[in-house]
């Protein structure tokens, strides 16, 4: 009989425990929820995740990151869940180094003969004014922009006059030097994704919808994981229904958690704030925030993006604001870029779709226009088709130079 009573008491205590846990389940601000990628089966690999550097950081995913630390409520939370979601296989992305060289062929194919046309014109016996005009035209058609094109032609004229004879190799060398002078910037291209003492690096990804923002966030998360960083994603593009799912899928493939909202159209600033707070709490290396890029008016954008930035900065400083630009949109893309640069301090440009029909001159034009370096380039739809931009590889690809590497 006593045993029977004890059993009833134990059952009652358990029931109260489960009910209480359900009621008190923590929620983020404004219904923000976290997709815990770490709750998935991560036992597959993740050996690339640096562990030595992370020594002493609690909560940081390591090579053996599997489940979050057990809490008294963990069994009670799991019990009512009907069926386990399908477990994606955790991938081990390659590191970022050397990617642009690997993707060089794609870059060369996409430049629609811009380098070859210049080389052929410059190799003519007589370089008269008409030829120089043609050279300028090729540069402008390749999206270099009028002012830089004129500058290039003027510099080339001077060099040709001084150097006289021109063998094909000399012409190539000449053009290479001049293009490099236009493509290279003073500003460093290295992404500021180093974790700081006591807080993660925070990267805000902005740009017009359709440019490849969400894809870039996903690819960048992969690349950072490939380099050994722990990453947390913030789905602050709450206006496009599929964006959060898209981002979460990217994250799950490499074991990066996504902070998102339950509600479509939720306040993007709240999601961004919650993402950064979670990133600080979990002591991850980098927090990547995807934002919405509705460009109705500059005021809308200022309200939206300006607020995201202000709210995040209440919690921590932002290390990078990456502007994603579709390289195939030419001058129109440049106009959009200008509006974004007025609203937020852009620190780097990601040029996507450079594998397509883009004309490479946009690299020169956009850097000059915004005074900000291109830091990353998208060279395809594949998960690892995002590369740190390298000026020499880019110019060599345009000119068809087999760079000794
Ligand atoms: P968002 O609205 O700015 O977030 O754009 P998405 O990330 O959804 O991307 C829009 C489309 O561009 C998708 O079909 C992507 O696969 C595609 N895309 C993104 N980056 C690249 C790239 O570098 N090359 C190519 N060819 N397609 C890309």
- The model's pLDDT over 95-126, given as tens digits with 9 standing for 90+, comes to 888 888 888 877 777 666 788 889 889 888 88
- The model's pLDDT over 6-30, given as tens digits with 9 standing for 90+, comes to 555 555 555 544 444 443 333 444 4
Quote the pLDDT of residue 162: 86
Quote the pLDDT of residue 69: 39
Residue owning the nearest CA to atom 18 of ligand 1: 212
Quote the pLDDT of residue 3: 62
The rounded mean pLDDT for the chain is: 80
Residue owning the nearest CA to atom 22 of ligand 1: 353
Whether the pLDDT of residue 33 is over 70: the answer is: no
Quote the pLDDT of residue 402: 66
Whether the pLDDT of residue 39 is over 90: the answer is: no
Q: How many angstroms is it from 298 CA to the middle of ligand 1?
A: 23
Quote the pLDDT of residue 2: 55
- The model's pLDDT over 367-377, given as tens digits with 9 standing for 90+, comes to 999 999 999 99
97 vs 253 pLDDT, higher one: 253
- The model's pLDDT over 49-99, given as tens digits with 9 standing for 90+, comes to 333 333 333 332 222 233 333 334 444 455 566 676 666 678 899 988 888
- 212, 333, 357, 377: which to mutate for ligand 1, most atoms within 8 A of CB? 212
Q: Is the CB of 195 under 6 A from ligand 1?
A: no
Quote the pLDDT of residue 90: 87
Quote the pLDDT of residue 405: 47
Quote the pLDDT of residue 166: 76
In SS3 terms, the chain reads as: CHHHHHHHHHHHHHHHHHHHHHHHCCCCHHHEEEECHHHCCCCCCCCCCCCCCCCCCCCCCCCCCCCCCCCCCHHHHHCCCCCCCCCCCCCCCCCCCCHHHHCHHHHHHHCCCHHHHHHHHHCCCCCCHHHHHHHHHHHHHCCCCHHHHHHHHHHHHHHHHHHCCCCHHHHHHHHHHHHHHHHCCCCCCCCCCCCECCECEEEEEECCCCCCHHHHHHHHHHHHHHCCCCEEEEEECCCCHHHHHHHHHHHHHHCCEEEEECCCCCCHHHHHHHHHHHHHHHCCCEEEEEECCCCCCHHHHHHHHHHHHHHHHHHCCCCEEEEEEEHHHHHHHHHHHHHHHHHCCCCEEEEECCCCCCCCCHHHHHHHHHCCCEEEEECCCCCCCEEECCHHHHHHHHHCCCCCC
């Amino acid at each position: 009989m006593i045993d029977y009573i004890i059993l009833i008491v134990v059952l009652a205590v358990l029931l109260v425990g489960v009910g209480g846990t359900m009621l008190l389940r923590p929620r983020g601000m404004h219904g923000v929820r976290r997709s815990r990628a770490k709750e998935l089966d991560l036992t597959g690999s993740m050996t690339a995740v640096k562990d030595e550097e992370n020594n002493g950081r609690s909560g940081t995913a390591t090579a053996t990151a599997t489940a979050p630390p057990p809490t008294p409520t963990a069994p009670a939370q799991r019990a009512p869940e009907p069926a386990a979601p399908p477990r994606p296989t955790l991938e081990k992305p390659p590191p970022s180094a050397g990617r642009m060289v690997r993707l060089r062929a794609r870059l060369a194919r996409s430049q629609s003969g811009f380098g070859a046309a210049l080389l052929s014109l410059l190799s003519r016996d007589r370089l008269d004014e008409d030829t120089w005009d043609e050279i300028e035209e090729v540069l402008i058609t390749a999206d270099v922009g009028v002012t830089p094109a004129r500058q290039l032609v003027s510099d080339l004229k001077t060099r040709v006059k001084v150097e006289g004879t021109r063998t094909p190799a000399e012409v190539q060398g000449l053009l290479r030097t001049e293009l490099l002078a236009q493509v290279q910037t003073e500003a460093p291209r290295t992404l500021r994704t180093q974790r700081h003492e006591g807080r993660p690096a925070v990267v805000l990804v902005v740009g017009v919808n359709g440019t490849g923002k969400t894809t870039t966030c996903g690819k960048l998360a992969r690349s950072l994981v490939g380099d050994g960083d722990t990453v947390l994603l913030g789905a602050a593009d709450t206006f496009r229904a599929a964006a959060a799912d898209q981002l979460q899928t990217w994250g799950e493939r490499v074991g990066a958690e996504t902070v998102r909202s339950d509600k479509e159209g939720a306040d993007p600033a709240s999601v961004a704030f919650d993402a950064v707070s979670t990133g600080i709490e979990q002591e991850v290396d980098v927090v990547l925030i995807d934002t919405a890029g509705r460009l109705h008016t500059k005021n809308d954008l200022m309200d939206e993006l300006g607020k995201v930035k202000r709210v995040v900065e209440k919690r921590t400083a932002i290390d990078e604001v990456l502007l994603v630009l579709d390289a195939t949109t030419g001058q129109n893309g440049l106009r959009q870029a200008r509006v974004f640069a007025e609203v937020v301090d852009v620190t780097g440009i990601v040029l996507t779709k450079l594998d397509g029909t883009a004309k490479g001159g946009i690299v020169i034009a956009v850097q000059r226009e915004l005074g900000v370096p291109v830091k990353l380039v998208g060279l395809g739809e594949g998960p690892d088709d995002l590369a740190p931009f390298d000026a020499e590889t880019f110019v060599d690809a345009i000119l068809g130079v087999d760079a000794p590497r």
